[in-house]
Structure 1
Amino acid sequence: MSHSSSKVIITCAVTGSAHVPSMSEHLPLTPGDIARQAIEAAEAGAAILHLHARNPEDGRPTPSPDVFRQFVPVIAAQTDAVINISTGGSTRMTLDERLAYARVARPEMCSLNMGSMNFSLHPVAAKMASWRFDWEKEYIEGMEDMIFRNTFRDIRNILAEFREYGTRFEFECYDVGHLYNLAYFIDIGLIEPPFFIQCVLGILGGIGPDPENLSMMRATADRLFGRENYRLSILGAGRHQMPLVTMGAIMGGNVRVGLEDSVYLSRGVKAKSNAEQVRKIRRILEELSFDIATPADARAILGLKGRDNVTF
């Protein structure tokens, strides 16, 4: 797999399950809002759309295939972007719940967290002056005593099942150990190149948002996999989003932005949409003389099966 191209894949994570509605009035909650913001993000330059679902009544994360069906086909009808369905869901969901819609849709791409971990935003609760919905405060504070579960058996079973569907993965690596977990599954033959590794920095419970840590993750991946066998993408949580993803692109990686990862556009300024973040990182990348990958480019770079082979 050649890395001679300077094209950078922009992924947009549209809503996620970690942020709650009270953190930003611009966080998309309803199927209509998720579809609209996803389509706008694709029009702004996102080649991949990373999607979660939310209960349209109160914004609570939901694994319901019925809710996914209210916006995924709309997005697929109006954009050629690669649709990436999360298998992460939230810490409150069972594995079967997290996989429910992906099993139906059999998309080109799913996300896959490469290990069990503490994943928490609980310190944010002390900074909130008020809550929009009754469920939010307990949800955020309760993360202090929650574990996101993806055991080796869980990961093995997901890889084996979705291999039959032809689905490829955004391998979310929140720490160096997750890269070694990925290497294990490569060694036993469940994953073949090209690998798409999402390096996640700045989540409490994972590796910190230090530039040195990004360099270490890149060097470790090079050593384990050989740079010719994988494509790196970078996710910087919160205020670290733009600096880290820019650094990652300069290091030869791809980028992920979106309101799932940060509700801000710049210091103290909330992003009014996912498209605003996409437009900002696109402008930065183009100023640095990078070309932005189209959905067709992303499919070719990552070896995806194509939109015609999904069941949205």
Structure 2
Amino acid sequence: MPTPPDKVIISCAVTGSVHTPTMSPYLPLTPDQIAEQAIEAAEAGAAILHLHARDPADGRPTADPAVFTQFVPRIRDATDAVINITTGGSTRMTLAERLAYPLQARPEMCSLNMGSMNFSIHPVARRIGEWQHDWEKPYVEGMEDLIFRNTFADIRHILRVLGEEAGTRFEFECYDIGHLYNLAHFVDEGLVRGPLFIQGIFGILGGLGPDPENLVTLRATADRLFGRGGYRFSVLGAGRHQMPLLSMAAVMGGHVRVGLEDSLYLGRGQLARSCAEQVRKIRRILDELSLDVATPAEARAMLGLKGAGAVAF
């Protein structure tokens, strides 16, 4: 008899560090806005909330723990969702900056990018005539000449100080097939133990394109490296590819990630007014596919998390 499919974990990436205020009036920037959108997304069905911070003065990405502490405890108190803190920050942050708040907070989960890469949305700048803030245009255009650094030594350090020492588990962000092999290397080294939660990312310039065939390739490669039962996979589709690729992932037995970090839109030409709108949309799709949505407690059990009572915020 076939194994019944998992309930589907919905992750929501609330704000990120890629989009800028000019791109959408609905992008949450202040601690209040981030908290409100995160809480609403959890109420809509997101079991995991993936969090970055923004400077409340002008919306630029920040790694300042003092900003994180203005909204993370508020989200914790208002929801049962798993709080997942970025270790990626932005391409302009040092590793020490990126880890400043995660090391303080010791969360249940953190994101972990599995390789250095070109990561850019610089062509978007050509379509914008006026910018709200002076920092935005050079920030977006400057991505063309930056590398998102995640060396083997960086990854090893994060696995040690957060994984081994803080009991944090990871959303392993894989932007390319080679990132799966990097993850397999750390499994072979004994630095990563299951259950693995692999986030396949499609549609970012510098990584895997949004072709459906790439999703099949990623899944087949993960099967070879880890065995079908050795991991759980989720999918992030950037921009307009969000809902089609997530629907495909769900049919294949995977989990899904939405949020204004990944796409500013709800549909063709329609800006999403909140992360919760995207959560509600993917939940409707899952319902139509006769798939059940995981609660935070069920997500914790599937991913082997240490529990909300074991964090430091």
**AA of the residue aligned to 1:64:** D
Letter in 2 for 1:98: R
* CA deviation vs aligned residue, 1:34-89 (integer Å, no higher than 9, x gap): 00000000000000000000000000000000000000000000000000000000
> TM (normalized to structure 1)?
0.99
What residue number does 1:182 align with? Answer: 183
1:279-308 deviation line (CA, Å, top 9, x unaligned): 000000011000000000000000000000
Report how far residue 153 of structure 1 moved: 0.5
2: CA distance, partners of 1:191 / 1:286: 34
Count the aligned residue pairs.
311
* Aligned 8 A contact 1:3 1:228 in 2: no
Residue 6 of structure 1: CA displacement?
Answer: 3.5
Asked if 1:237 is matched to 2:223, the reply is: no
* Cα distance between partner residues in 2 of 1:252 and 1:97: 36
Gaps of 5+ in 1: none
Distance 1:70 1:3, change over 3 A: farther
Which residue number corresponds to residue 149 of structure 2?
Answer: 149
Q: Distance in 2 between matches of 1:110 and 1:25?
A: 27
| TM-score between the two structures when normalised by the length of structure 2 | 0.98
Matches within 5 A, 1:1-312: 4-162=4-162, 163-312=164-313
2:112–2:173 contact (8 Å) kept in structure 1? yes
4+ residue runs of structure 1 moved beyond 4 angstroms?
none
Displacement of 1:3: 6.2
Task: State the AA in 2 paired with 1:271.
Answer: A
Secondary structure class of the residue paired with 1:214: helix
Identical residues among aligned pairs (%): 72
Give distance in 2, aligned partners of 1:311 and 1:205. 35
How well do the aligned residues superpose, as a CA RMSD in angstroms?
0.9
1:45–1:278 contact (8 Å) kept in structure 2: yes
Tell me which amino acid in the other structure corresponds to 2:184. Answer: A
User: 299-308 or 123-132: which moved more?
Assistant: 123-132
Q: Deviations over 1:163-209 (max 9, x none)?
A: 21110000000000000000000000000110000000000000100
Tell me the amino acid that sits aligned with residue 231 of structure 1: R
The CA distance in 1 between the partners of 2:6 and 2:196, in whole Å, is 18
